[in-house]
Amino acid sequence: MGYITVTCHFLTADWSLHSAVLSTTHVDQSHTAVHLSEVLKNITDQWNITSKVVCVTTDNALNITNAVCHNSWKNLPCFTHEINLVVTNSLSELTDLSRLIQSVKDIVSYFHRSTKASDNLKTIQARLNLPEHKLIQHVETRWNSVFYMLERYIEQDEAICTALCLLNRNDLLIDVDKLVTLQETVDTLRLFEAVTTEMSAEKHLSASKMIPITKAQIKVTTETTNNLALKLVDHMKVRFLNMEGNPILAAATILDPRFKTFAFADQGAAERSWTALVAQCGSQTQKTADSAIPVVEESDLLWRFFDQRVAEVRSTLLPSTDTFAEVQQFLRMPILCRKADPLQWWKRNEKAFANISKLATKYLSILATSVPSERLFTKAGELISAKRSRLKPKNVDMFLFLNKYED
């Protein structure tokens, strides 16, 4: 039984970031790009927001990315999925490290399978005054579960080794010198775990952070010289090669008063982006100006041609000059402290930047990850269990819709 969950994220009039569940739809046909595009379009049509979709954040599955493109929407690959691929691919290419991690997985699995072993471990933890934490198992779809597994193993190494010896499972023991490698691996991956956690927060802006945080991540990881760090940097450079050229990310970054053009390594890309913003503002203002131009009365024959000419000239003069000056003024203002709230800044300065504030509401609401939908799938998995397999799809949709608002 397949389901697709669609969430939406938007800024309210008072500059608060809000999220909503639109639908959890049962997909009973083949999950082709064409069919999924129809499902997505039906959902947005039901909510009357099809023309308001700025960007759709998805995982890297080809059928869903093609479905988004089929509807002529812009697609943003989930940042945490990209990080997941960077880490898993890097680890898999280091044979010795992969074998060592597999050894840890085997130990953790043993303690999870055996009640006797887990009871022994708990007794030894108490005797050694160690935290009575359970060992963490690796989940294939979550790279950071490797990080948590290794971190917990290092914390409990003494208790684990003692328990294995008492249980006559010396065959599972890891050499003492390998502990240094495990600690080095955890230290290298700690930055990636922090980035994943920060970017997965649903209540904070994330798309505008992608360019600066990736740039910082590559720089910091480059300063570490072990084999894993080198692999991670190589994969990041490939996956995030043209991030500054992505118009969605570039616009979000520039419109975030904490970053603006300072987050760009390529100032040419920054200039192209803010020039595009000026054009968007101009187009936006043009529509407003066109609606404000008075209609020339046909009966006023004497002044009809003169009034028509004045109206045409006004329509060409209104938008561009003011917009360019507004963008320039915004870029010249001091950078906001990184830990300050950019939405509160916009709330205070909205009237001063009447044109580009409209673009800020458009781009700053974009999330860099598809994590909110995935969190709902965890609840869906608990709901659609063997005991509740007869639950109707419409009730699954209603349950998750309401459950979101309980949170």
User: Are residues 54 and 8 in contact, defined by beta-carbon separation less than 8 angstroms?
Assistant: no
Q: Domains in the chain: how many in total?
A: 3
- The closest of 372, 369, 366, 371 to 253, measured between CA atoms, is 366
- pLDDT value for 300: 58
CA 35 to chain centre: 25
Q: What secondary structure does DSSP assign to 28-61, as a single string?
A: -S---HHHHHHHHHHHHHHTT-GGG---EEE-S-
Q: What secondary structure does DSSP assign to 311-338, as a single string?
A: HHHHHHHSSHHHHHHHHHHHHHSPPPPT
- The closest of 376, 280, 320 to 54, measured between CA atoms, is 280
Residues 6+ apart with CB under 8 A from 195: 83, 213, 217
Q: Same domain, yes or no, for 65 and 103?
A: no
- pLDDT value for 318: 46
Q: Same domain, yes or no, for 352 and 273?
A: yes
Q: Same domain, yes or no, for 358 and 376?
A: no
Phi, psi torsion values for 75, nearest 5 degrees: -115, 135
Any domain includes 317: yes
Residue 102, burial from CB neighbour count under 10 angstroms (0-12, 13-18, 19+): exposed
- pLDDT value for 34: 94
- pLDDT value for 27: 82
Phi, psi torsion values for 341, nearest 5 degrees: -90, 110
Any domain includes 227: no
Any domain includes 207: no
Query: Using only C-alpha atoms, what is the Rg of the chain?
Result: 27
Model pTM above 0.75: yes
Any domain includes 376: yes
Q: What is the mean pLDDT of each run of 10 residues along the chain (407 residues)?
A: 84 93 84 93 96 93 95 95 94 97 98 96 97 94 91 98 96 95 97 92 84 95 95 96 94 97 93 90 58 51 59 52 86 94 97 94 92 51 49 60 55
Any domain includes 312: yes
Q: Same domain, yes or no, for 257 and 352?
A: yes
Question: Distance between CA atoms of 35 and 310, rounded to whole angstroms?
Answer: 51
Q: Same domain, yes or no, for 293 and 356?
A: yes
Interstrand relation of 56-58 and 75-77 (parallel, antiparallel or unpaired):
parallel
Domain boundary among 178, 194, 210: 194
- pLDDT value for 265: 92
Q: Which two tokens stand for residue 312?
A: 């045409």
Q: Same domain, yes or no, for 18 and 95?
A: no
Q: Same domain, yes or no, for 9 and 114?
A: no
Question: Distance between CA atoms of 322 and 328, rounded to whole angstroms?
Answer: 10
Question: Distance between CA atoms of 43 and 41, rounded to whole angstroms?
Answer: 5
CB atoms within 10 A of CB 405: 8
Any domain includes 208: no
Q: Same domain, yes or no, for 300 and 357?
A: yes
Q: Same domain, yes or no, for 255 and 350?
A: yes
Any domain includes 230: no
393-406 and 371-383 helices, crossing angle to 10°: 120
Q: Same domain, yes or no, for 101 and 67?
A: no
Domain boundary among 363, 381, 396: 363
Question: Distance between CA atoms of 86 and 275, rounded to whole angstroms?
Answer: 33
Q: Same domain, yes or no, for 45 and 88?
A: no
Q: Which two tokens stand for residue 109?
A: 């699995």
- pLDDT value for 142: 81
Residue 162, burial from CB neighbour count under 10 angstroms (0-12, 13-18, 19+): middle
- pLDDT value for 384: 47
Any domain includes 220: no
CB atoms within 10 A of CB 28: 9
User: Are residues 26 and 393 in contact, defined by beta-carbon separation less than 8 angstroms?
Assistant: yes
Residue 147, burial from CB neighbour count under 10 angstroms (0-12, 13-18, 19+): buried
Q: What secondary structure does DSSP assign to 152-183, as a single string?
A: HHHHTHHHHHHHHHHTT-GGGPPPTTHHHHHH
Per the structure, the complete domain to which residue 24 belongs is given by: 2-78+370-406
- pLDDT value for 202: 63
CATH number of the domain to which 380 belongs: 3.30.420
CA distances from 42 to 33, 36, 38, 110, 401 (A): 14, 10, 6, 48, 17
Q: Same domain, yes or no, for 263 and 320?
A: yes
